[in-house]
Amino acid sequence: MQKVVELIRVSRNLDTLLTHFSLPTQRATNRRTAQAHRLQIVRTIELVNVSGAAILKAPEMHALLDLIRQPEISGVVIYDFSRLMRPDSFTDYILLQAFHDSNTILYLPEGPVDFGTKDGRFMGAIRAAIAGLQRGDFVERIWVAKEAQRKAGKHPGGEITLPYGVGYDKIRSRWFYTPEADKVKEAFRLFVLRQEYRPVARTLGITRSTLRYILRNPIYVEWRVIDQRRDPSPSALKTRNDGRQPCRVAIMRSPDEIIRVRVIDRPLVKKEIFDRVQEIIKLKKQRYWKAEAKFGNQRIFRGFLQCNECGGRLSLTAAQPEMYYFCRNRGLRKTCDTRYQHRTRLEREINKLLGERITSPHFLKQVEFVAGSAPSNHNCALDRGALMQGRQEVLDSYVEGTMSREEAVDRLETIKHQLGQAVLARPQNYDNDRFDKKLIQRLAAFANWTRLGAREKKRILTSLECTIHVQDYLVCAVSICGDRINFC
């Protein structure tokens, strides 16, 4: 008897499954298929709460792919082709290629599918496309049904999606306020008085994000307004690393899709108070934008600084005239005694190091380089010879009249900038026994550091996975893509 693996998959919780896709039904059908083809099921792999579009992320599916590569495993038994996959993109078809490469036969109740034959490849691709099409039809029908209920003033979702302090009776199709609504009413009153999120949330015992949603929800003045929906595009599907808990990001609806229905007769909050709260929120948002524009340049290194004493992350004090960096471990009262460091003074030292010293060949010969083990995909190599050749080609094209003056000037400026970086990328200026060639090439990104703006500087630090180790206004080391340069 040939040895096979049994695959069972359900895409939702067991208590909401349809009968013909339940675990017992799939298991019983697979046993009959194995008996009809004289197969021996040596292992059963179950995938619960895994969508057919995210099946390749499930660790159980990776275990199945490892099993079918073994010579003694000749096939996989499943209840229906849709249990194997419901492709949402062309990349999902790589699963069929894995069956083809391992000479694995797919056993179904209606007969086997051999992907090694022409008919098997054709039928496999067709059935996979049909399974994906069915999934799209299911999603569309469910969306239409729920949208009709929303427009009728009903609630098609579960209790977890209800607003705070609001309940819904599905039998009577009636909205009502729960006892928690008293806290909502108090939240509006306190916010009008204090006009701050944090103290009001602390007084009521709720999170600040929950308070913001409460204050902006018009359901407390009788109206149910739905101005967002889930993005239906394939790229918007988000899952965990194991393929579970699929969800889609929320996007704003177009004006003609916004639903506004009156669902409660007696409002919890007066319309005048609700409008006043919306004005306060709008003014607070405008003040926040102004503060961000003012202090945006003062937060260039936030998230890239690390305490050299304990390895903790450095945070910045609140926006004010005098801002300081402090170690989070000290703020959390852990074992770190490093002092606060004034933002202006510390960032002056960092900019001096990154803009002047770190790109100096003489300076780099005096530092200690420690190669890290972190993998890196960065490739900043600049070929000076190729750049010079490209410069000459631009000049020749301009002389011959095939390139306009404006285009030639733009091309030459770009090449000039790259040539300036290529000078820093020459490995012969350094001691190659003590310094890594790729790291030198990455340092070319700091060539024009002093002339860059805040956004460009943050982009460089992010792309190089940069971590700056500081202590007592000294830059002790800089880690770039897992490699560390010690300065003290």
In angstroms, the CA 365 to CA 103 distance is 57
Share of the chain above pLDDT 70, in %: 78
Write the CB contacts of 378 (distance below 8 Å, at least 6 apart in sequence): 438, 442, 463, 464, 481
Q: What is the per-residue pLDDT across 454-477, written as a single tens digit (0 to 9) for each?
A: 778 888 888 888 899 998 888 888
Task: Indicate whether 38 pLDDT > 80.
Answer: yes
pLDDT mean across residues, the chain: 81
Task: Compute the residue count for the chain.
Answer: 488
Q: How many helices (H) and strands (E) does the chain have?
A: 15, 21
pLDDT of residue 7: 94
What does the radius of gyration of the chain's CA atoms come to, in whole angstroms?
31
Task: Indicate whether 37 pLDDT > 90.
Answer: yes
The one-letter code for the residue type at 28 is A
Write the CB contacts of 23 (distance below 8 Å, at least 6 apart in sequence): 8, 10, 14, 17, 46
CATH assignment of 2-147? 3.40.50.1390
Task: Indicate whether 214 pLDDT > 80.
Answer: yes
Task: Indicate whether 380 pLDDT > 60.
Answer: no
Virtual torsion, Cα 232, 234, 237, 243, nearest 10 deg: 140
Task: Indicate whether 381 pLDDT > 50.
Answer: no
Q: What is the per-residue pLDDT across 316-343, written as a single tens digit (0 to 9) for each?
A: 876 566 788 888 887 666 668 888 888 8
Q: What is the per-residue pLDDT across 107-140, written as a single tens digit (0 to 9) for each?
A: 999 999 999 999 999 999 999 999 999 988 988 9
Task: Indicate whether 486 pLDDT > 70.
Answer: yes
In angstroms, the CA 300 to CA 292 distance is 12
In angstroms, the CA 72 to CA 324 distance is 65
pLDDT of residue 241: 73
pLDDT of residue 69: 92
Q: What is the fold of 159-293?
A: Hect, E3 ligase catalytic domain fold (3.90.1750)
Report yes or no: 240 and 271 within 8 Å, Cβ to Cβ.
no
Domain assignments of the chain as residue spans, ordered by start: 2-147, 159-293, 305-379+430-486, 382-424
Task: Indicate whether 10 pLDDT > 60.
Answer: yes
pLDDT, mean of residues 72-97: 91
In angstroms, the CA 55 to CA 13 distance is 16
Q: Does the model's pTM come out above 0.75?
A: no
Band of residue 245 on the pLDDT scale cut at 50, 70, 90? confident
The one-letter code for the residue type at 154 is K
Report yes or no: 52 and 82 within 8 Å, Cβ to Cβ.
yes
Write the CB contacts of 117 (distance below 8 Å, at least 6 apart in sequence): none
Q: What is the per-residue pLDDT across 55-82, written as a single tens digit (0 to 9) for each?
A: 888 889 999 999 999 999 999 999 999 9
pLDDT, mean of residues 21-31: 89
Residue 474 pairs in a beta bridge with 471
Instruction: Choose between 388 and 433: higher pLDDT.
Output: 388
Task: Indicate whether 384 pLDDT > 60.
Answer: no
Residue 10 pairs in a beta bridge with 48
In angstroms, the CA 479 to CA 369 distance is 10
Q: What is the per-residue pLDDT across 170-205, written as a single tens digit (0 to 9) for each?
A: 898 999 999 999 999 999 999 999 889 889 999 999
